[in-house]
Amino acid sequence: MKAPGGPEVAAGDVLLSVEDVSLAFGGVKAVNDVSFDIRKGEIRAIIGPNGAGKTSMLNIINGFYHPQQGRITFKGETRAKMRPHDAAAGGIARTFQNVALFRGMTSLDNIMAGRTLRMNKNLFWQLLRFGPAMKEEVEHRARVEEIIDFLKIQEIRRTPVGRLPYGLQKRVELGRALAMEPELLLLDEPMAGMNLEEKEDMSRFILDVNDHFGTTVALIEHDMGVVMDLSDRVVVLDHGVKIADGTPDQVKSNQAVIDAYLGVAH
Amino acid sequence: MDLLYKILIDPFVQMGAAPDLLVQTLWEGLVSGVLYSLIALGFVLIFKASGVFNFAQGIMVVFAALTLVGLHEIGVPAFIALGLTIVVMFGLAYLVERLMLRPLVNQPDIILFMATFGLTYFLIGFGELVFGGNPKKMITSQLYLPSGAYDIKMFGGFVSLQKIDIAAAVIVSLMVISLALFFQKTRIGRALRAVADSHKAALSVGISLEQIWVVVWFAAGIVALVTGIMWGARSEVSFSLQIIALKALPVLILGGFTSIPGAIIGGLIIGIGEKIGEFYWGPLLGSGIESWLAYVIALIFLLFRPQGLFGEKIIERI
């Protein structure tokens, strides 16, 4: 899978780097001078206790928030701020902590919406729904059916997503992000609120996406077991500050991390 | 007893006694209902995609109609004038997005609502400056819209159908069907529905809100133009025409602010209810009830279905 535009990044090289990024909401410092990088092809976890600034970090990467300080380099291009539309066009897809789907639309339409950027026949043809626009619609529909097969959600294709159980909604949301054929996939707590079986399914999908398509994944997760199994490298945030960065084993034995999670006696 | 008879029995006796009059009244109700639906449709389009109640929809109707007639007055052939008016409505949509919506993004809804008031008064002033304040005549025949009427023999009497009304009903139906297809079957239509459901999710898949807003305001502009032509053909084109926008309110209450089928059916109910009410029950109250009956129908409706006929029932977890 290759996103349009931008230079190629070889596997193992830095795909995205965050340097000295700070973000404050009024007096609250959500992210404070944080630097880390994401390498092409890896699964990178961002963990930390509640309020550590994990979601803010994700929002910065995909352009929802603009940091007051710092630089972000994606595929070799450095920028201070970027709009969500540009992030999506550059190959960054994401899911949300509390599922953000188009509730009135079917699973199929939701995932088709993920193809928006790749469909470019103009309004004129679309109004006629004829010629190139029709051909384009059919081609993209085929790709979407592949994703639906991959995620094993054939039987809910025509169901409005508002009616689906939570676990399936999360899967449709993943499908919509995959439909963008992203280079970098951001997952905000992909397993929150799921039962064990659903968590195992979701873990398998994430690993498969990473394996088969070579998609780089950055995920936020609370379930430590999941994080340690899935990820290649982990960055730990606490109160907006980076306190550790390394392989799961390194992070697990880091004293600052243990203190942040268990609390320290003062 | 006498009063009860007059309210509950007598109107139906009259309906039975002169079915041709009943059909005539129903037809007239249907036609004004179609036009109400059209105005309401303009509101629904914008409300769905941006959550803004566009107070300026009424003046957009007048502005579109005036542009069309004004261009024709300075010697532009009718169909070229029509094309140019469509271009003008696109320009208006673009400017509204660029100058009004974009700077106000993420502001509370009430502020955007107030901004549409500003737009209304701007368009009134600008329209008067360019086209003058005098009422104008719609260029019906130049656009090959039919005039005259069919008189159909029915139930021992005559039912008279204005040709322009039949044309209005046909054109509006075609427009609604094509809008529905556009919404359901195309990428931009899908993007429009996506934006209506969730702004942040739409942004995350790379849908550009700016582009979508231009498209919906343009669509609402086209709807306004058709409304202006049809309504203008029945009376005349003047600034007082914008009052019809207020008629859309009970329609929206009835149909729900977010539903296109709701706007259509709400419009028809209000249109027919109004005419039947005026004709059969009006004399009891000394006539003239047409102007407020719609609001009463809507109010009674609100008591039973606060979300409207097709509006989404909002269930909030607390």
Which whole number is the average pLDDT over A195-221?
A: 90
What is the model's pLDDT at position A185?
A: 93
ipTM above 0.90, yes or no: no
pLDDT tier, B184 (very low <50, low <70, confident <90, very high otherwise) = confident
Same domain, A64 and A121: no
Distance from CA of A186 to the nearest CA of B (A): 10
Confidence of residue A258 (pLDDT cuts 50, 70, 90): confident
Whether B205 sits inside 8 A of A109 (CB atoms) is no
Q: Is the pLDDT of residue A1 over 50?
A: no
Distance from CA of B248 to the nearest CA of A (A): 25
What does the pLDDT average to over A5-10?
60
Mean pLDDT value across residues B130-156: 78
Chain segment A20-78, per-residue pLDDT in tens: 999 988 888 889 899 999 999 899 999 888 888 889 999 999 888 888 888 888 888 88
* Cβ atoms B269, B254 nearer than 8 A: yes
* The pLDDT of residue A166 is above 90: no
Query: Which of A194-198, B146-150, B253-257 is predicted most confidently?
Result: A194-198
Which domain-ending residue is among A162, A180, A198? A180
For residues A87 and A191, membership in a common domain is answered with: yes
Distance from C-alpha of B85 to C-alpha of B226, rounded to nearest angstrom = 11
Q: Provide the terminal-to-terminal Cα distance of chain A, rounded to the nearest Å.
A: 51
**How much of chain B is helix, strand and coil, in % rounded to 5?**
75, 5, 20
B160 and chain A in contact, CB less than 8 A = no
Q: Is the pLDDT of residue B53 over 60?
A: yes
Same domain, A187 and A266: yes
pLDDT in tens, B202-241: 888 888 888 888 988 999 999 999 988 888 888 778 888 7
A71 and A106 share one domain: no
Calculate what percentage of chain B has a pLDDT beyond 70.
97
Whether residue A72 is found in the same domain as residue A195: yes
- CA–CA min distance A194, chain B (Å): 19
User: What is the overall mean pLDDT for chain A?
Assistant: 85
E strand or H helix that includes residue B122 = helix B109-131
DSSP string, A186-200: EEESTTTT--HHHHH
Is B102 within 8 Å of chain A by CB? no
Lookup: tokens for A260:
């942040």
Instruction: Give the model confidence (pLDDT) of B266-301 as tens digits.
Output: 889 888 988 888 888 877 777 677 778 888 888 888
Residue A24: which H helix or E strand, with range? strand A14-25
Let me know if residue A96 belongs to a domain: no
**B197 and A62: CB-CB below 8 Å?**
no
Do the domain assignments include residue A176?
Answer: yes
**Which of these three, A164, A180, A196, is where a domain ends?**
A180
Question: Whole-angstrom Cα distance, residue A187 to residue A54?
Answer: 11
Say if residue A155 is in the same domain as residue A206: no
DSSP state string for chain A: ---SSS----TTSEEEEEEEEEEEETTEEEEEEEEEEEETT-EEEEE-STTSSHHHHHHHHTTSS--SEEEEEETTEEES---HHHHHHHTEEE--SS----TTSBHHHHHHHTTGGG----HHHHHHT-THHHHHHHHHHHHHHHHHHHTT-GGGTTSBGGGS-HHHHHHHHHHHHHHT--SEEEEESTTTT--HHHHHHHHHHHHHHHHHH--EEEEE-S-HHHHHHH-SEEEEEETTEEEEEE-HHHHHT-HHHHHHHH----
The average pLDDT across A100-124 equals 81
At A140, list the tokens.
């993209």
Structure tokens at B89: 């409505």
Rounded to whole angstroms, the Cα distance separating A121 from A115 reads 12
Are A53 and A118 found together in one domain? no
Give the Å distances, CA to CA, from B204 to A84, A244, B211: 6, 29, 15
Burial class (CB within 10 angstroms; exposed 0-12, middle 13-18, buried 19+) of B202: buried
Tell the residue number behind the tokens 């993007």, with chain if given: B191
Q: Among B187, B193, B217, which would you mutate to test the A interface (most chain A Cβ atoms within 10 Å of its Cβ)? A: B187
Task: Note whether B185 contacts A: Cβ–Cβ < 8 A.
Answer: yes
Whether A88 sits inside 8 A of B187 (CB atoms) is no
Higher-scoring residue by pLDDT: B311, B275: B275
The reply to whether residue B205 touches residue A93, judged by beta carbons under 8 angstroms, is yes
Residue B36 and residue B247 in contact, taking contact as beta carbons nearer than 8 Å: yes
Rounded to the nearest angstrom, the minimum Cα separation between A266 and chain B is 37
pLDDT tens column, B14-34? 777 777 888 888 888 898 888
Residue A91 belongs to what H/E stretch? none
B151 band by pLDDT with thresholds 50, 70 and 90: confident
CB contacts under 8 A, B 206-245 vs A, are: 206-208, 215
A49 and A121, same domain (yes or no): no
Give the three-state DSSP class for B186.
coil
Chain-chain contact of B201 with A102 (C-beta, under 8 angstroms) = yes
B37 φ, ψ to 5°? -55, -40
Is the domain of A122 the same as that of A164? yes
Whether residue A172 sits in one domain with residue A219: no
Residue A70 lies in a domain: yes
Q: Where residue A237 sits, what CATH number does that domain have?
A: 3.40.50.300
Instruction: Supply B192's token pair.
Output: 């429009």
pLDDT at A3 over 50: no
Question: What's the structural domain count of chain A?
Answer: 2
Q: Do B249 and B269 meet the contact criterion of CB atoms below 8 Å apart?
A: no
* Residue of chain B minimizing CA distance to A117: B206
Last residue of a domain, one of A150, A180, A210: A180
Assess contact for A31 and A57: CB atoms under 8 A: yes
Please say if the pLDDT value at position B44 is more than 70.
Answer: yes
Which chain A residue shows the shortest CA-CA distance from B192? A113
Is A246 a member of any domain? yes
Q: Does the pLDDT at position B143 exceed 80?
A: no
Residue A117: list chain B partners with CB under 8 A.
205-206
A189 and A263 housed in the same domain: yes
Same domain, A219 and A249: yes
Among A33-37, A101-105, A161-165, B149-153, the range scoring the smallest mean pLDDT is: B149-153
Helices B260-276 & B163-185 angle (0-180, nearest 10): 160
Q: Which residues of A206-220 are buried (b: 16+ CB within 10 A; e: fewer)?
A: beebbeeeebbbbbb
**Is the pLDDT at A244 greater than 50, yes or no?**
yes
pLDDT of residue A218: 93
Domain range for A53: 1-91+183-266
